[in-house]
Amino acid sequence: MPFNMLILGASYGSLLATKLLMAGHDVTLVCLPEEADLINAEGTRVRLPVRGESEPVVLDSRDLPGKLRAVTPGAIDPADYDLVGLAMQEPQYGAPAVKALLAKVGRAGVPCMSIMNMPPLPYLRRIPGIDAGELESCFTDASVWSEIEPAHMTLCSPDPQAFRPPEERPNVLQVTLPTNFKVARFDADEPTSMLRQMQQDIEAIRYDVGGRSIELPVKLKVHESIFVPLAKWAMLLTGNYRCVTPEGARSIKDAVHGDPAQSREVYDWVREVCVALGASPEDLVPFEKYANAAQGLVRPSSAARALYAGAANIERVDRVVQILARQKGMNHPVVDRTVELVDAQLEENRRKAAA
């Protein structure tokens, strides 16, 4: 039986949506009015690199078994859906219409799966032995999460890398690193079984390329440990946030490989923080695997690009890690310096916006 999924965010969300559509599930994307009109008229396109193919495979939503539609936040009843996916940048949830939709999601008790870099506050509350209240300052508006119970929230590590090519229309997504989505189970068995069914359905997909039936990358992998998605934290602190420098933005590749020894030190320290929180080393990703993947990440991170484009708010995983580390009696000078640089640039952006 196909599931009916609601995904907030039509950019990165279109990647997960495409995999679900290929598996025969139905998806509704929540987005801006002009995006909704375009997607409803022309569908979405996801360009997916496939090993052994010289050109990316282009997945057109109109040709897939599942049904896709797009709506604006006010035109939806979340109670009509089996699962809600959260695929916007964290500051976007503070927009009045999106905030109102999240409150409706919480009151309806629909299970939520986040594919944000920034773990939603209800998910962080699932980590035992921390002061989650101290993390509220890391969010643009922590009150947007107040209606959602921790038991109804899970986190899916957004390991696949993708972006909207600036020269293309906004219904096109280019995947640059086709890795897997790693999702932690829910507290309850029923929504977890839905995730496991989605995993099986996506793994069963075969796609015709040049007369050959092949598997496509980017799968959904369900894990028992709530700490598995936190493996992304070491990558973000080593690469994405260290794209921020006093001289401006640099690529993730340069952030990681400009000083490999320091990068390894930061990466391993964040892993130690995750272990102190309760993660098993097996939940996490070795530095070598990430460093190899970073060789192909030749653009600055989205956080760095937004910061130097004047954003007043960005996702602050750097501060989440810093605060949780301090709760465990840990700190690292490079991480502290990174947080200071981001804080300073945000302050400058807000000052200019207010002038």
pLDDT digits 0-9 by tens, 280-310: 999 999 999 999 999 999 999 999 999 999 9
On whether the CB atoms of residues 48 and 178 are closer than 8 A, the answer is yes
User: Is there a shared CATH topology between the 4-223 domain and the 228-354 domain?
Assistant: no
pLDDT of residue 52: 86
- Sequence-distant (6+) residues with CB within 8 A of 130 are 124, 277, 324, 327
Protein fold of 228-354: N-(1-d-carboxylethyl)-l-norvaline Dehydrogenase; domain 2 (1.10.1040)
pLDDT tens-digit readout, 123-165: 999 999 999 999 999 999 999 999 999 999 999 999 998 999 9
DSSP string, 15-59: HHHHHHHHTT-EEEEE--HHHHHHHHHH--EEEE--TT-SSPEEE
Q: For tokens 């009045």, what's the residue?
A: 96
pLDDT of residue 340: 98
d(CA 121, CA 119): 6
Pick the CATH number of 4-223 from 3.40.50.720, 3.20.20.20, 3.20.20.70, 3.40.640.10: 3.40.50.720
pLDDT tens-digit readout, 72-106: 999 999 999 999 999 999 999 999 999 999 999 99
d(CA 255, CA 245): 9
Burial category of 353 from C-beta neighbours within 10 Å (exposed 0-12, middle 13-18, buried 19 and up):
exposed
d(CA 110, CA 17): 18
SS3 at position 183: strand
Q: Which two tokens stand for residue 43?
A: 């569908």
Sorted by where each begins, the domain ranges of the chain are 4-223, 228-354
Inter-CA distances, 133 with 67, 140, 323, Å: 40, 14, 11
- Strand bridging mode 112-114 / 83-86: parallel
Helix axes 333-354, 260-277, angle to 10 degrees: 90
Q: Could you tell me how far CA 5 lies from the centroid of its own chain?
A: 17
pLDDT at 211 over 90: no
The per-residue pLDDT of the chain, averaged, comes to 97
